[in-house]
Structure 1
Amino acid sequence: MISSTLRSALGQLAGLIFGAITLKILAIMTGPSGVGLFSLFRHLQQSLSLVASLGGQAAIIQGLSSREEEQREVFQRHVCAVFVVLGLLLAIFMLCSASLISEWMFEGGYTSSLRWLTISVLAGSGLFFLRGILNAHLKFNEIALINAISGFGGCF
C-alpha cells in the first residue's frame, strides 16, 4: 500500500511540476492577463468535465469494486455509455451556447475559444472515466503515468 501510494504521489508530483512549467511558459509569453484568462478557461473546463462525468471517478471505483467479475464488465459498459451520452449532450450544449457563455463570462469575446474548449472538456471527462477504471482495478502505476503525461501535455 505504501509503495502504490508513493508511486501515485510521484505521478501527481510530476503532473504538478509540469503544470508549473506550463504556467511559467504562459506567463512569459502572455503576461498576467494571459495567465488569468488561462485560469478562467481551465476552471471552466474542469467544472464542465466534472459535470460530464457525474462528479468524477469515485462512483466508478465504488461501483466496480462492489461487484463480482461478470457484473463488473456490464457495469463498466453501462458507465461508459453514460459518459458518452453525457459528453455528447454537454458538447452540443457548449457548441450551441458558446456565445451566451462568452457574453456572460467574457463580455462577448472568446466565443470560438469556448467552442474549441469542448474538446478539452470531453477529454477531461474521458480522463475521469479512465482513471476511475484503472483505480478500481488497482493499476496505480498506470494512474501515476497518466497524471505525469497529463501535466506534460499541458506544456505544449
Structure 2
Amino acid sequence: MTTTLRLAKVTAANFDAAIGLRVRPDQEHLVAPVVKSLAEAYVWPDTAWPRIILDGDRPVGFLMAFLDIDFAGDGRGMDIRSGLWRLNIAAGEQGRGYGRFAVESVAAEIRRRGGTRMTTTWHPGEGGPEGFYLGLGFRPTGEMSGDQKVGELELG
C-alpha cells in the first residue's frame, strides 16, 4: 500500500479534523493548539499559511508557515523572513516522517516564492524539538524570540 502525503488548505470540510489534532500531553507546553494557530491565521491573513497534513485522506498533522514578515518588528523592513511558525503532529502519528515532510513542504513554498532561507523557533530544553530541527539542518542563529531559540535553514 502506498501512502500519499499532501498538504491541504483548512476548509469547512476539514476544520473539525484540524482542530481535533493533538500532540502528546508532554508536548502541549511546546506548541500552541491548532485552534489558536487558525485564529492567528485569521488575524494575519497576509502572512500566515496554515495547512493540514494528510496521509491519503487521513489527517496526521498541521503546520502553519509565516511568509515575508518583518522579523525584527521594528517597521523598517530590514529583516524580512519566512519560515515555519507552528508544527503539530498528532500524538499517534509521530516518528513516521510527517514532520520532515512538513518542513520540506514549507521550504518548497518559500523557494517557490523566491526565498533562500527558512526560519523557525523552538523551545529549548529536554523533551523539546531542538534535535529534530538540528537533524534537518537548521542552525541556531544565537537569537531568541521570546523564550524560544531561533534557527535558520539555508535553502540552496
- The TM-score normalised by the length of structure 2 is 0.29
TM-score by length of 1: 0.29
Q: Please identify the structure whose Cα radius of gyration is greater.
A: 1
Q: Which has the higher strand share?
A: 2
Structure of greater relative contact order (alpha carbons < 8 Å, 6+ residues apart):
1
Q: Which has the higher helix share?
A: 1
